[in-house]
Amino acid sequence: MSFVHIAHLTKRFGNHTAVGDVSFDVPEGSTLALLGPSGCGKTTILRCLAGLETPDGGTIEIGGNRVFDKVRHVDLMPEKRELGIVFQSYAVWPHMTVAENVAFPLKVRGIAAAERLRRASKMLETVGLKGFEDRSATLVSGGQQQRIALARALIHEPRLVLFDEALSNLDAQLREHMRMELRVLQERLGFTAVYVTHDQAEAFGLADTVVLMNQGTIETSGPARAVFAKPATAFVARFFGMNVLEAKIVGPVAGSNYVDVALNDRVTVRGVAGEKLDPTPGKTVLACIRKESVRADRVSSDGTRPATIEAMSFLGTAEEYIVDIQGVSLRASQPAIGFRRGDAVHVAMAADDWIVLP
Ligand SMILES: Nc1ncnc2c1ncn2[C@@H]1O[C@H](COP(=O)(O)OP(=O)(O)O)[C@@H](O)[C@H]1O
Ligand SMILES: [Mg+2]
C-alpha cells in the first residue's frame, strides 16, 4: 500500500524548472530517500509535500487523501496535512524549555498542559533526552537540539515525517549514531518517511528506496542496493564516485552480455554491457568501474596488467591511488599497503566490475 503518491509534480521559479514532472510512491511504513547534488530540487519536492510551496502542476496524495491537485484546485493547508518535519537547522525556540519546545505542536492542537507535559516526557525518553524537560533549549549541544527537533516532529504521532538534510549539521560520529537510531525509531513507531540528503551513505543507511535526482528530474530510482550496484547512467556512476572513462567499442563478445572496449590505443578491457548500449564497433561509450574494484598488487598474476602508481593518499584504514595503466589513469581504493608514487605494480580488474554505458 502506498502512503505517499506523487504524480507529475512540477514546480517553477520564474523561468527555472526546479522540479519537472516527478512521480514516485512511498509504501506505508517505509523510508524513501531523495538523493542528489545541491540544487537538484530535493527541498522543493519536500516543501510541496508539506504544503509550504504551491506546485505548478501534478497531484499529491498522503494517506489516501488528495492534498494537492492543480486541475481540481485542491491545495490543503500545511497544518491540515498532519505531518512532521525535521530541518537541517534545528529551529529550536530559545525562549522555551526543552519540554515546551517538544510539546508545542500539542499546544497548537489545544491539548491540556498536564497531558502535553506527560507526552513530551515520554517522547524525550524515546529520543534519549530523559530528564532534560526543564533545561533551556539553547543550553544543550547541537546533537541534543537535533533530538529536540526530532521529538517535536514526532510528538503528535504523524504518520508521515519529512527530513531535510536533518543530520548534516552534526559531526561525523554523531551523524552515524543518529542514523542508526532513526532507523530503529522508525521501525518502532512505524511512520512513513521521506528523507532528503546529498549524502549517499545517509540515503543508503536510512532508506528502503532511493530516488536519485538530477536537475529537477528523476535520474534513477529503486532499492538502495540495486541503484548502487548497477548504475543506470553515467550521471549515477559519477555521483557514486566511480571511474567514468570515455571508450570505444571494439565489439560484443559472442553469446554473452560482455563487450570489449578500448580505453586508448593500447588498453582494451572487457565489461558488462549496460541496458541501452549499442555495441556497434567504433561507437563512443563510457566505461565505468568502482575504485574498490581496481586492485593494485606487487606481484603479477593471471590477467593483471603492469601499471605505475601516479599518486597516493593515505586515509587510515584504506588508501587511494591513481594508477597509470599504459596511459589510462584510474582511481583505486584498497586497504593500506603502502605503495609510493612511481612504484611498479600489477593491477587486477574483473570484467564483471566494468559497466559499459551509452
Ligand atoms: N524560492 C525560490 N526562488 C527561486 N528559486 C528557487 C527557490 N527555491 C529553490 N529555487 C531553485 O530551485 C532549484 C532547486 O532548489 P532546491 O529544491 O532547494 O534544491 P536542493 O534541495 O536539491 O539543493 C535550485 O536551482 C534553486 O536555486
Ligand atoms: Mg535542499
pLDDT digits (tens, 9 = 90+) for 103-142: 999 998 899 999 999 999 999 998 889 999 999 988 888 8
Q: Does pLDDT of 272 surpass 80?
A: yes
Ligand 1 within 6 A of CB of 290: no
The number of CA neighbours under 13 Å toward the Cβ of 202 is: 25
CB 347 within 8 A of CB 269: no
Å from CA of 259 to ligand 1 middle: 41
Instruction: Find residue 162's DSSP bridge partners.
Output: 85, 194
CB 301 within 8 A of CB 293: no
Mean pLDDT of the 246-258 span: 96
Cα torsion 186, 191, 194, 195 to 10°: value is -20
Q: Which three cell numbers stand for residue 114?
A: 498536564
Of 137, 156, 30, nearest in space to 84 by CA:
156
Ligand 1 within 6 A of CB of 236: no
CA distance 23 to 19: 10
Burial 147-169 (b: 16+ CB within 10 A, else e): bbbbbbbbbbebbbbbbbbbbbb
Ligand 1 atom index nearest CA of 46: 17
- The widest CA-to-CA distance across the chain, in whole angstroms, is 77
Nearest CA owner, ligand 1 atom 5: 13
Least confident of 89-93, 119-123, 295-299: 89-93
pLDDT digits (tens, 9 = 90+) for 34-53: 999 999 999 999 999 999 99
Q: Does pLDDT of 90 surpass 80?
A: no
Of 26, 15, 8, 358, nearest in space to 217 by CA:
8
Q: Give me the domains of the chain, ranges plus CATH numbers.
A: 2-234 (3.40.50.300), 235-357 (2.40.50.140)
Residue 285 CA: distances (Å) to CA of 261, 264, 356: 8, 12, 7
Q: Does pLDDT of 10 surpass 80?
A: yes
